[in-house]
Each structure stands twice: as C-alpha cells, then as structure tokens.
Amino acid sequence: MKTGKNARPAGKQPAKKTTSRHEDFITSASPVTSVKSAEKKREALGERVRAAREIRGLSLEDISSRTGITILTLQSIEANKILPPLGQLIKLGKALDMKMGYFIAPGVEKPVTVVRKGRGQGVARYGGKKSQQHGYTYESLAPEKADRMMEPFIVTLMPTDTAEFSIHDGQEFIYVLEGGMEVQVGGRTELLYPGDAIYYDSNQPHLVKAATKAKTVILAVLYTGAK
C-alpha cells in the first residue's frame, strides 16, 4: 500500500483492511435511523424501488441477478426495513433503468433548486451496533431537483474500525470541511484535511473513512454516469 506523497501524518497506523466485501462509508447497508423530519421521505424509498420493479415486470430474482444484491436484502429494502446504501442504489438504478437520485428523492421539474443551511434531506446510518456511535450521517443537497446528473451530499464521518472497500460505476469528488479523512483508491492512500480535495473513478476499489478520533465533515459529490 502506497502512501500519498503529500500526505500529512494521521497520528496512528491505518486500520487493517478486510476484503470479504466491497463497501465503504456510503455503500454499506444498515438499518434506517430517524433524522429530523426526513422519515417519511425515506420510508417512501422502498416503495419507489418496488414500484419501478413492478412497472418493468421484473421479479426480485431478476433484480438480484442484475445487481448482485441478495433477494433477502432486496425484500428488506422494499419493505423499508433497511436504507439501501448509495452503492446499491446506483446498481438498482441501472438495473431498473432509473437514475439513482430518483430513489433518494424524485424531485420536481425546476431549473433551479435551493437548499438552505441545515435543511437538506438528512439520513443517519450506523454499522454494527448503534450504541458504539460509529457510523455516519449524510445530507442530500439537491433532493428537489429532478433528472439530476450529480448527487451532492454533506457527510459526517465518525471514527470506525471498519475498513472495507467499494466498487461501483461513476466518479466521486470529495472536499474536506472539518477533521481528517483517509482515502484509499487502488494501491494509493491519501490523508486529507480541511481544504484538501480528491477526485477519482469509483470503478476502482476505494475506501473512505475518518482518520482522526473526532468527527470529519466532507462535501461529497457522486456522478453515476449518464443514462
């Protein structure tokens, strides 16, 4: 593993990575956790996935074979028992011939939308035991824009020992606002701090996590590819 040339010390050795699955901070499945008033919007997500599947006359088995997502997980998503990770939403969008953003929020036909500070569509996610307070929250910054080509989020990362990589279509741009984060893309590792930014192809194995004991806040923009 190669450390970035301009990286600054994180003060500790990176956690040992695992390779059993390919997930990262925005792609690992977890139970839905209430945040502010976004609960109703999130509950509708599973219904939108099911409706899109049924309109196309596809079974759960069909979607599972196209995405690699297990039937049990698909059932849980459609029943709103878990919040599908963004990586899975990208795969579901391609399998169902829909943009991933439709599942987050369908949006309306507006040429311009504005999200005021603290008023984005918030979602909380926790891996493992929620009591450990290890996980992250992300806030969608464009939930009302229909047919959007990019998905911008404010993401708050909490310290975690999880070190699992993700692979999915598209590209990602990240700008650090607060704290410190570790980004691994392929065989390269970078430590980023406020004011630092990174852009990479998401079809390379990549991992993003907090690099400090305090929370890290980032601006993340995902591009999943034009349909």
β-pair type (135-140, 171-178): unpaired
Mean pLDDT in residue range 130-143: 61
Angstrom distances, CA of residue 129 to CA of 1, 30, 31, 163: 29, 10, 10, 16
The predicted pLDDT at position 148 comes to 80
Q: What is the pLDDT of residues 174-186, one digit of tens each?
A: 999 999 999 999 8
Q: Residue type at 214?
A: A
Structural domain including 175 reads 2-223
Mean pLDDT in residue range 1-27: 46
Residue whose structure tokens are 């036909």: 109
- What is the domain-level CATH number for residue 142? 2.60.120.10
pLDDT confidence of 169, banded at 50, 70, 90? confident
Indicate the Cα dihedral angle 87, 89, 90, 95, nearest 10°: 130
Mean pLDDT in residue range 195-203: 94
**14 close to 182: Cβ distance less than 8 angstroms:** yes
Residue 82, Cβ density class (10 Å: 0-12 exposed, 13-18 middle, ≥19 buried): middle
Mean pLDDT in residue range 217-225: 88
Residue 40's CB: how many other CB atoms inside 10 A? 7
> Mean pLDDT in the chain?
74
Task: Indicate whether 130 pLDDT > 80.
Answer: no
How many domains does the chain divide into?
A: 1
Q: Which residue has the higher pLDDT, 118 or 66?
A: 66
